[in-house]
Structure 1
Amino acid sequence: MSRQRGAALLLVLWVVGLLSVLLGGLAVSVQLQQRQARWQGNQTQAGLAAQAGFNLAVANLLRDGQARWLADGQVHVAHFAGSTLHISVVSERGKLDLNATPSTSLAKLLRASGATAERSKIITQALRTRRNQVPLRMLEEFRELPGMSYAVYDRALPFITVWSGNAQPDPSLASPTLASVLGLPHYHGPAPDGGPILTVTSQATLPGGFQSRLKATFVLLPAYAGGKPYRVLRWQD
């Protein structure tokens, strides 16, 4: 009898232990689902706020006179639905155009971005060959050139374009970093017109610290007749 009771007790303890494990796993699963739901909710909210920042930038770029935002890289702070927005605008004229730049200028940027002299030569030669066939249409095509690494591409990315058509960046619109790398003349005058092709960076931060960031390059269409006042060339979020 005592053996039967002992066996029954062991069985009960085994069942209790199994239930504890199952309940513990269920609790962890529920917590993970709740966290995932919160993350997705934050992602959606922050993403919509970042898009609102982009729309705000476009609206201010279409304004007249001194109220119009300039493509000078200045960070504008705004608020939307409880989120804090940091928005900046730069002109593609202030960047190095991969379809027009001399090899010497590109080599300087590549070296400053971490490429060795040998790899820089390989990349510039590959780009020259590619341009003789067909111009680059997307920045991602630069990443695919022989000799290119992701690290070098990522460092050079903020300073390159395929949409300006200029052999050299406009010194009045170039970032201080690019101006220094290329040895562009210093510009101290008033901010000029950045042209119609611009890039907006919009970062939204929720009260809890969750962030979402988008970067969009587009053609501004001030004289649009209905529809959107811009045409997107590149969108990252």
Structure 2
Amino acid sequence: MTRGPCPGRDERRDGGFALLIVLWTMVMLSFLAFAIVSSGRRQVRMAMVERLHAQLQAQADGGVWEAAFHLLDTSPAHWRADGQVHRVRRGRVTMEYRIASEAGKVNPNLATPDLLAALLRAVGTQARAAREIATNIRAWRFPLQQGEAPPAGSAAAYAAAGLDYGPPGAPFQTNGEIALVLGMTPALAGQILPFVSVYWDADPVPSLAGPVVRQALAMAGGTPTPDDEARSQGIVGIDVIVTDISGTRALRHAVITTQVAGGDASPVRILQWNRPDDY
């Protein structure tokens, strides 16, 4: 005798599959909800971090003007452009201000090839490479005269190096432009940028220079530039670092001059405005 299908057993089997499907659906929905909540929390945290950084950056920007005020102050609270760090605690943040005269730096538009090579050697460049790059810096800032043979560092040399630009035959407009010179690597440019300035219109003043520039001056020889106190205090670099108690930081670097024309309404003029690591 052959038995027929058992309706009760089939119904239980179908019910088990349905329950399993429901359970898996609930698990998947739980994972989906968790992912959505986690993503939302990450976005909220990122928004909070971005907001904090924007607030700190605004404080760093304002810190430049605050430092300029202290530089112009004629009271005993006056801040000199001597490289000293001034720290001020305000609530959750610590403000650090540093004012240094640009007179202690090398102007790549005015420096002799010997001084440029000496500066490159002072930061660790080999003598031969230093001479070549110094020659290229000179070729960058001076136009080729009619009938003159193309020097090392000419447009042809840039093209041979695979670069789509050449020396403009004009003075450097910004400090960072020196990174474009043939032979200058990003690492080397980062090493010398803190010691160059297109804003000081004379040779470096040894009494205001740091150890690297003083070493370069000694290697290059020549007559030291006398310290003109008024002028050296009138063209300065300002670095401001704002640090929150969470460790979040914002930075601003600026070069300003207080030697403005008599008709100018502001006692300060901004010459350069960027991050300290960007120059």
Instruction: Give yes or no for the alignment of 1:236 onto 2:274.
Output: yes
> How does 1:19-168 map onto structure 2 within 5 Å?
19-64=29-74, 66-80=76-90, 82-133=92-143, 134-166=170-202, 168=203
Q: Which runs of 5+ in 2 are unaligned?
A: 1-10, 144-169
Moved more, 116-125 or 53-62: 116-125
Query: Equivalent pairs: percent with the same residue?
Result: 30
Q: 1:191/1:126 Cα in 2 relative to 1: closer, same or farther (>3 Å)?
A: closer
Gaps of 5+ in 1: none
- SS of 2:142's partner is helix
The size of the alignment, in residue pairs, is 233
Structure 1 pair 224/29, CA: closer, same or farther in 2 (3 Å)? Answer: farther
CA displacement at 1:120 relative to structure 2: 2.1
Give the Cα–Cα distance (whole angstroms) in 1 for the partners of residues 122 and 135 of structure 2: 18
Q: Partner letter of residue 86 of structure 1? A: E
TM-superposed CA distance for 1:121, in Å, is: 2.7
Give yes or no for the alignment of 1:209 onto 2:247: yes
Instruction: Quickly say closer, same or farther: Cα 1:223–1:62, change in 2 above 3 A.
Output: farther
Q: 1:149 to 1:169 in 2, by over 3 A?
A: same
> Higher mean Cα deviation, 80-89 or 94-103?
80-89
The answer on whether the counterparts of 1:49 and 1:83 sit within 8 Å (CA) in structure 2 is no
Q: Larger C-alpha radius of gyration, 1 or 2?
A: 2
How many Å separate the matches in 2 of 1:200 and 1:122?
A: 32
* CA shift for structure 1 position 49: 1.8
Counterpart amino acid of residue 182 in structure 1: L
Report deviation, 1:113: 2.7
Counterpart code for 1:217: V
| TM-score under structure 1 length normalisation | 0.88
Give the CA deviation at 1:212: 0.8
Whether the 8 Å CA contact 1:172–1:192 is kept in 2: the answer is: no
CA shift for structure 1 position 127: 1.0
Are residues 53 and 22 of structure 1, via their aligned partners in 2, closer, same or farther at CA, if it must alter by over 3 Å? same
1:182 aligns with 217
